[in-house]
Copies of this chain bind each other. A is one copy, B any other.
Amino acid sequence: MFSKTCEYAVRAVIYIAQTSKHDEKVSIKEIAKGIDAPEHFIGKILQDLGKKGLIQSLKGPKGGFYLDASSRKYSLADVVKAVDGDKIFYGCGLGLSQCSEAQPCPLHHEFKKIRNDIHRILKKAKLGEFNDQLEQHLAFLRR
């Protein structure tokens, strides 16, 4: 469905959202442990998301990653798009160069529905809404 990079990115962003509520910042090391991902690798990924303005970071002691008010309005769809592009939302499921209503692949109508579902769900998942599920052990980001 998503690339490994994208899976890490989504899990990391959710982790940041959940643990950085009160302007606290989270270090790469803690994120890596929290989502069970290679430290340097998610460092790179978060660096990219930072450049694109999806998340914030600060260097130095007491530094780390966090989300500001505007970032909390972004959705997981924005994260996925930033990492994997929007092929998953708009591309042909059978890999044709572009999805087309006029020249549909044999599964076009079915795929279209699924793609829309995926898009809808991810657009609805705003970063600000991942509050304290984790702490309450209602959701998990590692296993």
Contacts and interface: CB of A to CB of B under 8 A. Distances in A.
Interface of A: 1-2, 4, 7-8, 10-11, 14, 76, 88, 93-98, 100, 103-108, 110, 113-114, 117-118, 121, 125, 130, 133, 139-143
A134 to B, nearest CB: 8
Contacts of A88: 1
A121 B130 contact: no
Contact of A140 (B10, B104, B114): B104
Contacts of A1: 1, 88, 93
B95 A142 contact: no
Given A114-B118, A121-B114, A130-B106, A2 B143 contact: no
Given A117-B114, A118-B114, A107 B125 contact: yes
A143 B103 CA distance: 8
A76 B95 CA distance: 15
B96 A143 contact: yes
Contact of A10 (B11, B94, B130): B94
A119 to B, nearest CB: 11
**Of residues A10, A76, A113, which shows the largest number of chain B Cβ atoms within 10 Å of its Cβ?**
A10
